[in-house]
Amino acid sequence: MEHIIVGNGVAGTEAAKNIRKRDPLAEIKIFTQDHYPFYSRPRIPELLAKEVTAEGIFVYNLEWYHKNKIQMYLNCTVKSIDPKNQKITLTDGSNFSYNKLLLATGSSGALPPIEGINTTEGIFTLRSVEDVMTITRRAADAKTVTLIGGGLLGLEAGNGLRKLGPSVTIVEIFDRLLPRQLDGEGAAILQKQLEGMGLKFILGAKSKSIKEKGHTRILELADGRVIESDFILVSAGIIPNTTLARTAGISVNKGVLVNDGMETNIASIYAAGDVAEHKGRVYGIWPASQRQGVVAGINMAGGNETYMGTVPSTTLKVAGIRLTSMGDVLAEDKAIVQIKVKDTDKYIYKKLFIKDGRLVGAILLGDNKNASELAQLMEKKVDVSRFKEKILEPDFDMKSIEREAG
């Protein structure tokens, strides 16, 4: 059996591991445009901040692939897929046949519709080790940086840039930070803490155009304000890399459409990770990509595994700040009970969202040590009605809920 995996992120790697577990004799080939073996993309901002080395974020080295009899093709771009003859073609013209194919091509940084964003030099996104190297070189001579986007990656990247020396101003179109993970109260507390670390924020600001004047990048906002800096980093979400799939006739919406087995509309072709769209959702988070890769790998090797979705859970990785947001924290459903603990002086803000006795969302800012237990309660749909007032107490034993709830 010949398996080809396009993409060497967490989804592709997990698929390869699970194929190998179930089929010791299968031929597994991974093709990636990356220059490096599998590394942890969530740790890219740490690399930018020089908190780790490039080797420090590598998960597997080339020896691991050799040991597991997985053929790794670095610096290779797949140009096209021929589903009828079950083969792929690289940009150098070489062809490879497959019995099962996995598209784990990931995503790219989205560029919002700002005049000049595609034509002005000095505009960057942060998605890879190569991006870090480019931005680090640019930051060496920079005194000011503008960062467009106040989401998770934006804040982590902003902190990394701040540690390199430049003054960092973050521009966010919403009226608060982390608009998908925090409500207004929590965002205000986080903003105060980040401002104390030296970051500057302009909120509720729509970017209109980018121009360059010598070595200066000029960002004009819709309200007429102008921000000047040495370069601009954009962190405005992701776009699934679907071009390869689309040109092969594979069904694509926002991402490559997959069923519960991570199969596409074409037999023997699967998709997983940031490129995949499952039940109308492109997750764009590591836990979902990891699980989808596992399911795809098992099924490519003849199994019958089902992907049931992933409870959205994200953690901000900025030294000195503990924040985890999971589930639905923005719902305006009147049936949802909200329980809150707040201590502005200590930068603590914790909030639970409970519907029909079940935990459906949680914000943990300043103290997220029970995040994994809360995630389990959410996934298992445990009835927490009798304990809901106690869950956020510092010394409360989460496991007691499961025991008493049966």
Residue 91 shares a structural domain with residue 166: no
CATH number at residue 330: 3.30.390.30
- Which has the closest alpha carbon to 160: 68, 69, 52, 56? 52
- pLDDT at residue number 43: 93
Average pLDDT of span 207-224:
96
Residue 313 maps to a domain = no
The CA-CA-CA angle for residues 387, 328, 195, to 5°, reads 100
Q: pLDDT tens, 297-310? A: 999 999 999 999 99
Residue 229 shares a structural domain with residue 130: yes
Residue 157 shares a structural domain with residue 249: no
pLDDT band at 394 (very low <50, low <70, confident <90, very high): confident
Residue 144 maps to a domain = yes
pLDDT band at 391 (very low <50, low <70, confident <90, very high): confident
Say which residue, 207 or 320, is predicted with more confidence.
207
pLDDT band at 172 (very low <50, low <70, confident <90, very high): very high
pLDDT at 398 over 90: no
Residue 118 maps to a domain = no
Q: pLDDT tens, 244-287? A: 999 999 999 999 999 999 999 999 999 999 999 999 999 999 99
Count of Cβ atoms closer than 10 Å to residue 154 Cβ: 24
- pLDDT at residue number 271: 98
Residue 6 shares a structural domain with residue 94: yes
pLDDT at 399 over 70: no
pLDDT at 402 over 60: no
Look up tokens 């304000």; give the residue.
225
Write the CA distances from 376 to 78, 89, 373, 400, 402, integer angstroms: 39, 43, 5, 13, 10
Name which of 68-72, 231-235, 330-334 the model is least confident about. Answer: 330-334
Q: CB of 238 within 8 A of CB of 108?
A: yes
pLDDT at 132 over 60: yes
Q: CB of 329 within 8 A of CB of 363?
A: yes
Residue 95 maps to a domain = yes
Residue 143 shares a structural domain with residue 195: yes
Residue 129 shares a structural domain with residue 229: yes
* Six-digit token string for 295: 């399911």
- pLDDT at residue number 386: 84
- pLDDT at residue number 250: 98
Residue 139 maps to a domain = yes
pLDDT at 140 over 80: yes
Answer with the one of 210, 234, 258 that is the final residue of a domain.
234
Residue 293 maps to a domain = yes
Q: CA–CA separation, 312 vs 305, rounded Å?
A: 21
The CA-CA-CA angle for residues 255, 288, 64, to 5°, reads 105
The single-letter DSSP state of residue 174 is: S
Q: Which domain holds residue 40?
A: 2-108+238-300
Question: Which residues have C-beta within 8 Å of that of residue 29, sequence separation ≥ 6?
Answer: 2, 3, 4, 5, 70, 71, 73, 96
Q: Is 73 helix (H, G, I), strand (E, B) or coil?
A: strand
Residue 198 shares a structural domain with residue 343: no
Average pLDDT of span 125-151:
95
Task: Show the 3-state SS of 110-144.
Answer: CCCCCECCCCCCCEECCCCHHHHHHHHHHHCCCCE
* Six-digit token string for 221: 């906002």
CATH number at residue 230: 3.50.50.60
pLDDT at 327 over 70: yes
- pLDDT at residue number 176: 95
Q: pLDDT tens, 36-79? A: 999 999 999 999 999 999 999 999 999 999 999 999 999 999 99
Encode burial over 329-365: b for 16+ CB neighbours within 10 A, e otherwise. beeeeeeeeebebeeeeebbbbbbbbeeeebbbbbbb
- pLDDT at residue number 406: 53
Residue 127 shares a structural domain with residue 177: yes
Answer with the one of 248, 270, 300 that is the final residue of a domain.
300
The CA-CA-CA angle for residues 212, 217, 218, to 5°, reads 85
Residue 309 maps to a domain = no
Q: Report the domain count for the chain.
A: 3
Residue 252 shares a structural domain with residue 185: no
Answer with the one of 177, 212, 234 that is the final residue of a domain.
234
Q: Is 274 helix (H, G, I), strand (E, B) or coil?
A: helix
Q: CB of 113 within 8 A of CB of 106?
A: no
Instruction: Provide the sign of the torsion angle of the four alpha carbons 365, 370, 371, 376, taken in this order.
Output: negative
Residue 246 shares a structural domain with residue 230: no
Q: CA–CA separation, 65 vs 16, rounded Å?
A: 10
pLDDT band at 347 (very low <50, low <70, confident <90, very high): very high
Look up tokens 């890219």; give the residue.
44
pLDDT at 333 over 90: no
Residue 113 maps to a domain = no
Residue 104 shares a structural domain with residue 242: yes
Residue 173 shares a structural domain with residue 223: yes
Q: CB of 123 within 8 A of CB of 131?
A: no
